[in-house]
A and B are shown apart, each in its own frame.
Chain A
Amino acid sequence: MSTDQPAKPAPRSTPETQPFWDGTAAGELRVQRCRACSRHYFYPRPICPHCGAADVEWVTTTGRATLYSYVINHRPAPGFAGDGPYAIAVVELEEGVRMMTNIVNTEITPENLRLDMPLRVVFEPRGDVRVPLFEPVPEPAGGNAR
């Protein structure tokens, strides 16, 4: 038996999700958009949840998002023990869909993680795939986010 730290969980694609994971491997965050009603949706599935149409396409998002909600987890999941308390978050993409992720490249404190703060996607290798994580967008010097 190996005594190494377990790896973080790696997703395994299914046929309907393969384009999403092909996208992250290529450094793109892709979601589906319905050609009939023009709305985006996530998680991947073959039928638009808004209007029921099956005429849907994959599009590449801007990768820009805002912080919708989060928790700071103090009981690490397997593979996360070395991270210290980490943020499990839900972000809202510019395209209007939401997804779970981790917030990275910033100090994980309530003071530092303000809801609705701007974020951008980064990708982390995980097994054979890359998973989308989000980091704060640096605010312009002297700027005011509000």
Chain B
Amino acid sequence: MSADIVIVGAAETDEVGRLPNHSVFQLHLESARNALADAGLTKDDIDGVATVGTPGPVQVAHALGVTPAWLDGTSVGGTSFLFHVRHAVAAIRAGMCHTVLITHGESGRSRIGAARPPFGPDSIIGQFEMPYGIMGPATMFTLTALRYMKETGLTHEQLASVAVAQRRWSSRTPRAAMRDLVTVEDVLASRLVAYPFHLLECCLVTDGGGALIVTSRERAEALGTRRPPVYVLGSGESAESPIISQMEDFTTSRSFRLSSQAAFAEAKITHDDVDHLMIYDAFAHVPIYGLEDMGFVGRGEAGAFIEEGHTSPGGRLPMNTNGGGLSYTHTGMYGMFAMQESIRQLRGEAAAQVPGVELGVVLGNGGMFMSAATLVLANRRP
């Protein structure tokens, strides 16, 4: 019988949005401090640190005065922080460490203290994608959509309805960057960024951060943490192609499928058990792939499912209830914020709280369908 692993601290930076006076490093440290305060712990309670490559776990640990017994620098795109949770669960169960701090900070909009993309003209992407005028994720992540539309019949209106549904949630979320309700017509009238994607079908670009603290239930009880624990019931991870053009099938994500299958199996849950869902939404088509690849709906059904309001307030599968990357915030590596909203919902403290949430699922995407991780979280013991 494996030990129960719980998230006992979860917090974002004081503000998210446009923060020109915060460096990436400062955003990490502010979110770490806030998560420690949320848990009622101090830095001396932490013996494991995980974060992505820049600034990396060594610098975060050093700055906080933590002496780590365990480090994880897994850096596989915006879902990396879900990988860190999964890896922390395994490390704590294995006795490698007892309490792990996971931090995210990114100056996606203001670019203060931010790393530059490391891709040179002799990298794989530099040789086989950059010569064709790619211009960030808006020209790569989006490339799969027309193929999906041709094969499934997804309409432009249904794609736009993803943004409409998420505004219904963000309109109830004071911290969200974009809170005005929009219609399908508004979305389709916003300027084209990369056909078939309009501006309102593309994520925001913001500054912010968040952090989590993961430990065993036993230790949380011994430490007397302040907050209701959120149990990690299951997790899964996988990866596919480092460049979008080599994704096996443009209509389905293999790593969405595999990571969610693993997480559901470990947690021993079915789709009917899921009260609340977060699917990383860098662009409007990603939740459509997520709903199908995780098995919540059949192939080609997700567009109509969202259009009919089933993921909107009052719907049977509340999804992306902070407004998501499209309307809440998107620093570049959004996975941390998807987990934060899932935890808020499970604690009953979300701005747009769904009644009676006991079990939530988070699907994180990394890169452009490059990697994925899924977490099954609950506010009750397994």
Residues of A within 8 A of B (CB): 8-14, 17, 42-43, 68-77, 79-80, 83, 85-86, 88-90, 98-102, 110, 115, 126, 131
Contacts and interface: CB of A to CB of B under 8 A. Distances in A.
A77 B142 CA distance: 16
Given A8-B131, A74-B191, 5 more contacts: A11-B130, A12-B126, A71-B146, A75-B135, A77-B133
A66 B242 CA distance: 23
Contacts of A75: 135, 138-139, 193-194
B128 A11 contact: yes
B122 A13 contact: yes
A88 B134 contact: yes
Q: Report the 7 A-B pairs with minimum CB-CB distance, sorted nearest first.
A: A69-B147, A72-B195, A100-B245, A11-B127, A71-B194, A77-B133, A12-B122
Interface in B171-230: 191-197
Nearest to B251: A69
A120 to B, nearest CB: 17
B135 A73 contact: yes
12 contacts: A9-B121, A9-B131, A11-B121, A11-B127, A11-B131, A12-B126, A13-B122, A71-B139, A73-B139, A98-B246, A100-B134, A100-B243
Contacts, number: 115
A80 B135 CA distance: 10
Contact of A72 (B127, B131, B134, B194): B194
Contacts of A8: 131, 133
Contacts of B194: 71-75, 88
Contact of B127 (A13, A76, A88, A115): A13
Nearest to B124: A43
Interface string B111-136: 00000000011101011111111110
A66 B195 CA distance: 19
Contacts of B138: 73, 75
Contacts of B244: 90, 100
Contact of A115 (B128, B130, B147): B147
B381 to A, nearest CB: 43
Contacts of A110: 195-196
Interface of B: 120-122, 124, 126-135, 138-140, 142-147, 150, 191-197, 243-246, 250
A9 B128 CA distance: 11
Contacts of A131: 131-132
Given A12-B120, A12-B127, A100-B245, A74 B195 contact: yes
> Among B132, B133, B144, which residue has the most Cβ atoms of chain A within 10 A?
B132
A75 B136 CA distance: 10
Nearest to B130: A9
Contacts of B250: 68-69, 90
Contacts of A100: 128-129, 132, 134, 243-245
A132 to B, nearest CB: 9
Nearest to B126: A11
Given A11-B121, A70-B143, A76 B135 contact: yes
A38 to B, nearest CB: 19
A77 B135 contact: yes
Contact of B122 (A14, A85, A126): A14
A100 to B, nearest CB: 4
Contact of B142 (A71, A79, A80, A89): A71
Contact of B143 (A10, A17, A69, A74): A69
Nearest to B192: A74
